[in-house]
Chains A and B, each alone.
Chain A
């Protein structure tokens, strides 16, 4: 059902071969108790969860036929500052990536993770990913996911996190590539004062179809969630955005906010936004705001009045809308990669 809107009900997976490239990049020195390994069957019990992500077909497939991914376990009170980087550079010899990732942050630990998916424009690639995060009491997981696969690629990505008391999972999602992209994030705020932020940007160009679904499920009291999304659509791109806030019994005094702002650069784009707010508990606060509109003409005019031509000015206004999200990425080199890709897609097309 999820895929009806973007026309993907008859999807067939190709045969999965080994993913031969090295993808775990670690620059700093981590304490030896920190365990980062390629994913293996030993951890299967952590994937025994009910989560359909972008679709049952996709998550079940990833559980069984994965060819890459990591298992990362942070012991109690271990904080690592240097990011754990996963770079999936897909190519002719590795056109299919099914990554299955497990991150367990024990009590009081903290970790930064970057997952970057990219490929050259011409190569047909398929990415199907599943990431499961357990953030225990007081643990913090900051995770940045960048999908900038080429226009001949398809990308499906399902992410789920379970956050215990005072724990935090902060997602940043950057969606720039693939002609079909499904991206699903679900966070369970299980404990008291659990928190989660999901900041995302997306850019639709050409004929890209995007299905984005972000869900925050509040179970613990005084839990806090925040979804903030900024999008830009141009050409004939299509997007469905679903933002769900679900307050379960027991989540009293919790607060959830979701916002989505999208700039429609061409009249030929299609943008659907479907916010949902579910409440089993009275004493909670849920807010949503969405807006879709053309580029701010007054901003454009301001820049042009200083001699910048229309294209340059448009680019600046679009970048300005992404900027508050991108500024949350604490790595300059990543910000540059993202802006180069945005610029390429906005200007060269």
Chain B
């Protein structure tokens, strides 16, 4: 029997009584990189939020198994402690807590080990250097006044500090220039080396050139309608979703 890190089975999800995910299946093994592509509004972020445990997204059918446990009922903080990380498409601004304080609190909570100030600061500094982030960001309020690109980098910074088992990147590459995409990709590669599984939601192929995904899935109207390799991403890049749409409306 195959062992999956993440096993999503016939998942249906509604928000405000509207069904968005309509029977979605997805299996991810340890260390694998999966990509989800799909037109706007097809339910990609809904999937990401549901995996992370957003209380507004209601699971009406099916289950999410993570690391051998059904997590449907778990709150977001418990899921984080189990090793799920979501890089938000739209990260929130929280004045009052600095990036450093926040991440130290977060790491303490996730690892269950008190993070000492000095070693943590050293770790943070190294990771920020890798991402080409100025040190001063550590003492700024979380995401407050950050540009779109800076927010995305800050998400990846959090990912590399928290070292999850599954990292979900919801359009992390949107709003980044090519240099920034390369830098972000390098950080993702690093945690991938540590056997982290990656689920990338994206519209662009740039990030995929670096990440070499194992699978590419197409999400349409709340379901995964097609799965393939990188060639599928290239095909969409060239001709869009029209062909696939046509293919599936015929059935």
Specify which of B80, B96, B103, B105 is in contact with A304 (CB 8 Å cutoff). Answer: B80
Among the listed stretches B29-37, B87-95, B219-227, which one makes contact with chain A, having 4 or more residues with CB under 8 Å of it? B87-95
Enumerate A288-347 residues with CB–CB distance to B below 8 Å: 296-299, 301-310, 312-313, 316-317, 319-320, 322-324, 327
Contact A306 B96 (CB under 8 A): no
Contact B80 A305 (CB under 8 A): yes
- Asked whether any CB of chain A lies closer than 8 Å to the CB of B249, the reply is no
Distance between Cα atoms of A297 and B55 in the complex (Å)? 8
A335 CB to nearest chain B CB (Å) = 11
Residue of A nearest to B79 (CB): A305
Per-position 1/0 for B32-67, Cβ under 8 A of A:
000000000000000001001111100000000000
A307 CB to nearest chain B CB (Å) = 4
Contacts A299-B94, A316-B94, A323-B96 given; indicate if A305 touches B52 (C-beta within 8 A): yes
Distance between Cα atoms of A313 and B132 in the complex (Å)? 29
Specify which of A305, A312, A320 is in contact with B96 (CB 8 Å cutoff). Answer: A320
Specify which of B76, B77, B95 is in contact with A323 (CB 8 Å cutoff). Answer: B95
B98 CB to nearest chain A CB (Å) = 11
Residues on B with C-beta less than 8 A from A320 are: 94-97
Q: Which of A297, A305, A308, A323 lies at the interface centre, i.e. has the most chain B CB atoms within 10 A of its CB?
A: A305
Distance between Cα atoms of A309 and B81 in the complex (Å)? 10
A312 CB to nearest chain B CB (Å) = 8
Residues on B with C-beta less than 8 A from A313 are: 77
Contact A303 B94 (CB under 8 A): yes
Distance between Cα atoms of A260 and B80 in the complex (Å)? 35
Contact B75 A306 (CB under 8 A): no
Contacts A301-B55, A302-B88 given; indicate if A310 touches B94 (C-beta within 8 A): no
Residue of A nearest to B110 (CB): A307
- Asked whether any CB of chain A lies closer than 8 Å to the CB of B106, the reply is yes
Contact A307 B106 (CB under 8 A): yes
Contact B109 A308 (CB under 8 A): yes
Contact A319 B80 (CB under 8 A): no
Specify which of A297, A305, A316, A323 is in contact with B86 (CB 8 Å cutoff). Answer: A305
Residue of B nearest to A327 (CB): B95
Contact A316 B76 (CB under 8 A): no
Contacts A297-B56, A298-B92, A323-B95 given; indicate if A304 touches B75 (C-beta within 8 A): yes
- Asked whether any CB of chain A lies closer than 8 Å to the CB of B102, the reply is yes
Q: Which of B53, B79, B80, B103 lies at the interface centre, i.e. has the most chain A CB atoms within 10 A of its CB?
A: B80
Contact B94 A302 (CB under 8 A): yes
Contact B77 A309 (CB under 8 A): yes
Number of chain B residues whose Cβ lies closer than 8 Å to a Cβ of chain A: 30
B58 CB to nearest chain A CB (Å) = 14
- Asked whether any CB of chain A lies closer than 8 Å to the CB of B158, the reply is yes
- Asked whether any CB of chain A lies closer than 8 Å to the CB of B166, the reply is no
Contact A305 B95 (CB under 8 A): no
Contact B92 A302 (CB under 8 A): yes
Distance between Cα atoms of A319 and B95 in the complex (Å)? 8
Residues on A with C-beta less than 8 A from B80 are: 304-307
Distance between Cα atoms of A42 and B16 in the complex (Å)? 67
Contact B88 A308 (CB under 8 A): no
Q: Which of B54, B77, B97, B158 lies at the interface centre, i.e. has the most chain A CB atoms within 10 A of its CB?
A: B77
- Asked whether any CB of chain A lies closer than 8 Å to the CB of B211, the reply is no
Contact B56 A306 (CB under 8 A): no
Distance between Cα atoms of A267 and B81 in the complex (Å)? 30
Residues on B with C-beta less than 8 A from A297 are: 55-56
Contacts A297-B56, A301-B54, A301-B55 given; indicate if A306 touches B95 (C-beta within 8 A): no
Contacts A316-B97, A320-B97 given; indicate if A304 touches B76 (C-beta within 8 A): yes
Residues on A with C-beta less than 8 A from B97 are: 316, 319-320
Residues on B with C-beta less than 8 A from A299 are: 92, 94
Residues on B with C-beta less than 8 A from A309 are: 77, 109
- Asked whether any CB of chain A lies closer than 8 Å to the CB of B162, the reply is yes
Residues on A with C-beta less than 8 A from B91 are: 302
Contacts A297-B56, A304-B80 given; indicate if A310 touches B95 (C-beta within 8 A): no
Contact B106 A308 (CB under 8 A): yes
Contact B81 A307 (CB under 8 A): yes
Residues on A with C-beta less than 8 A from B56 are: 297
Distance between Cα atoms of A176 and B162 in the complex (Å)? 36
A257 CB to nearest chain B CB (Å) = 20
Distance between Cα atoms of A322 and B23 in the complex (Å)? 43
Interface residues of A (CB under 8 A from B): 296-299, 301-310, 312-313, 316-317, 319-320, 322-324, 327
Offer 10 A-B interface pairs, CB within 8 angstroms, sorted by A: A298-B92, A301-B52, A301-B76, A304-B76, A305-B86, A306-B106, A306-B158, A308-B105, A308-B109, A320-B96
Further contacts, 17 of them, CB under 8 A, given A305-B53, A306-B103, A316-B97: A297-B55, A299-B92, A301-B49, A303-B92, A303-B94, A305-B80, A305-B85, A306-B102, A306-B110, A307-B77, A307-B109, A308-B77, A310-B75, A313-B77, A316-B96, A317-B94, A324-B95
